Amino acid sequence: MWYNRLGKGAAIMPASKAQIKATNKYNATAYDRLNIVIPKGRRETVKAFAEEHGESINGLVNSLLRREIGLTESEWETRQEEDPEE
């Protein structure tokens, strides 16, 4: 039996190949990916910090970047056009 992240008793079906393909296609058009590198052994520290603040690691990184850049949540979520000079 499959369980969702909410716990037992919530049976779900695994995603079909078509659903995975559609999700990957959407993610490729809607999001940019960043790969960050941190010192070995710090992942659990970062994960614990994120969880203490009710965030995933990805959510924490997005929140920190958004605040440091000085954008509102809606500004952060608004898609920016590619810079043609890059």
Could you list the pLDDT tens digit for every one of the 86 residues in the chain? 455 566 666 667 888 999 999 999 999 998 899 999 999 999 999 999 999 999 999 999 999 999 999 999 999 988 777 655 55
pLDDT at residue 9 in the model = 63
Which residues, other chains included, contact 3 with Cβ-Cβ below 8 Å and sequence gap of 6+? 9, 10, 11, 12
Decide if 43 is inside a domain: yes
- Residue 36: count other Cβ atoms within 10 Å of its Cβ: 7
pLDDT at residue 63 in the model = 94
Decide if 86 is inside a domain: no
In Å, the largest CA–CA distance within the chain is: 53
Decide if 4 is inside a domain: no
pLDDT at residue 79 in the model = 78
Decide if 84 is inside a domain: no
Strands (E) in the chain, as ranges, are: none
Which residues, other chains included, contact 69 with Cβ-Cβ below 8 Å and sequence gap of 6+? 76
Decide if 58 is inside a domain: yes
Range of the domain at 28: 17-77
Decide if 53 is inside a domain: yes
Count: domains in the chain: 1
pLDDT at residue 78 in the model = 86
